[in-house]
Amino acid sequence: MAKYLAALDQGTTSSRAVLFTEDGQVVSSYNREFPQHYPKPGWVEHDPKDILDSQIVSLREAVRLADINPADIAAIGITNQRETTFLWDRKTGECCGNAIVWQCRRTAGIVDDLVRAGHGDMIRRKTGLVPDAYFSGTKLKWMLDYYNLREKAEKGDLCFGTADSFLCWNLLEDRPHVTDATNAGRTMLFNLREQDWDEDLLELLDIPRACLPRVVDTAGMIGMLDPAILGCRIPVTAMAGDQHASLFGQACLKTGDVKNTYGTGCFMLMNTGEIPVESQNGLLTTMAWRIGGKPTYALEGSVFMGGATIQWLRDELKIISTAAESEALALSVNGTGGVYLVPAFTGLGAPWWDMYSRGTLIGMTRGTGRPHIVRAALEAIAYQSADLMEAMVKDAGHRPGRLQVDGGASANAFLMQFQADICGIPVVRPKVLETTALGAALLAGLGAGVFATPGETTRAWKQDLEFTPRMDEATRLLEMNGWHRAVERSLGFAKA
């Protein structure tokens, strides 16, 4: 009997492979970083060869570290950085230039033109996304234009894909050209309700359908791992964008369940069930996953400066030497003394959406010191997340019973307690913080029939700590109000 589930986690700065037991315990993991390319200001690229090589090395190393027979891996799930765009020749596999990374702003002008021409509402309605260069659609358009490849694409001689597609095509027998619904939902080409590529959007961006991958379920048989990789064939039975995998790995399977990942930025997703909720508060509508042909939807919001705010304290202000040190410093005072830090270094996202907002430190007095500023920075991560939560509550019409957390900065107990206090709901942290990889592995288990139903996978989720709200309601409202007054002062500052 095969005993292990494997996750390939193809991230923005590194590729990772994690082996789990079927009950969700980590057996081994291996991480390989790869170079980032910045050919021009605002441009970000990855070399597809680096992505492939780092992913293969990680898988082989994870298996070596676990000291297992690869034939004992029951199934593999792929999870990935979303939106990053690859284009390659269907016959030779040769890539048309580097992959354009989600962060890359080179297509901002294309998006501005679409919005100016009045297509914004249609894009929002069909895809659930706010028109932005972040998503794959305009990146693919740019590649087809720049390399003059439209005719070749029309003939079906080219493949477009995000990292999930690219890995499948290169690592699986028979080279399937597929993507899953969560990844498709981030292209700005996919109709969320119809669960198919949208003709109007393809026409708008002049993208031939023949270069698009077949959209498959998030969990289900995709193909077999090429035996050249590990010496045996292994079923690949799941694919999901990283935030969607993490929602699944957090066992957020019920309508209203919410998770927040505290990494460089923060990503909050709420499961909204069978209904794609249209946000009135600047959130994105996205897939949670598609299983057995049945779509489950989610609302998504992100904080640009999450853990990165703490990196800023460390690397630019140099008032802490490690991120972990921020916790003790914050706890060395019993409040910020009225100080608020709005880390709008690159503008503010949902629910504010102000690209001209800038970092603001306000409320200082002669008594303000280093611990107050460090504390204000940690609190800012929680306030921004609380704003996302409020937007979700307004859109979805109900308040979740708890917030499930993960990511590097969720290790900070002060931050987690303050998050519980300021949201007024318990914050729950699981034992396995690698919820993205866990989610991919569990989805793979589901796709391979190791689990009969999604519900069975939740056994793998185990609680570490629960942070119970301790702040009284009056204080909570007062603190939130102070934060919002600070945010107002940061808005529009770079416009002058």
Q: Is 81 in the site for ligand ADP (CB under 6 A)?
A: no
Residue 307 C-beta: closest distance to ligand ADP, Å: 2
Give residues 248-287 in contact with ligand ADP (rule: CB under 6 A): 263-264
How far is C-alpha 63 from the chain's CA centre?
26
Q: Is 310 in the site for ligand ADP (CB under 6 A)?
A: yes
Tell me the two tokens of residue 465. 């700590």
Q: Site for ligand ADP (CB under 6 A): which residue of 393, 411, 471, 480?
A: 411
Q: Is 326 in the site for ligand ADP (CB under 6 A)?
A: yes
Window contacting ligand ADP (CB under 6 A); options: 364-372, 402-410, 450-458, 476-484:
402-410
Binding mask 102-121 for ligand ADP (x = CB under 6 A): --------------------
> Largest Cα–Cα distance of the chain, in whole Å?
70
Nearest CA to 428 out of 404, 406, 408, 459 is that of 404
For 244, counting Cβ atoms within 10 Å of its Cβ (0-12 exposed, 13-18 middle, 19+ buried), the class is buried
For ligand ADP, give the closer residue by CB, 256 or 408: 408
In the complex, residue closest to ligand ADP by CB: 408
Residue 117 C-beta: closest distance to ligand ADP, Å: 35
For ligand ADP, give the closer residue by CB, 296 or 302: 302
Q: Is 90 helix (H, G, I), strand (E, B) or coil?
A: coil
Helix 108-116, helix 120-127: angle, nearest 10: 110
Residue 242 C-beta: closest distance to ligand ADP, Å: 9
β-bridge partners, 30: 17
How far is C-alpha 370 from the chain's CA centre?
32
Residue 308 C-beta: closest distance to ligand ADP, Å: 5
Query: d(Cα 153, Cα 157) in Å, to the nearest integer?
Result: 6
Q: Is 495 helix (H, G, I), strand (E, B) or coil?
A: helix
Residue 286 C-beta: closest distance to ligand ADP, Å: 19
Q: Site for ligand ADP (CB under 6 A): which residue of 161, 407, 430, 469?
A: 407
For ligand ADP, give the closer residue by CB, 234 or 305: 305
Count how many residues are written for the chain: 496
Query: d(Cα 87, Cα 89) in Å, to the nearest integer?
Result: 7
Name the site residues for ligand ADP (rule: CB under 6 A): 263-264, 307-308, 310-311, 323-324, 326-327, 407-409, 411-412
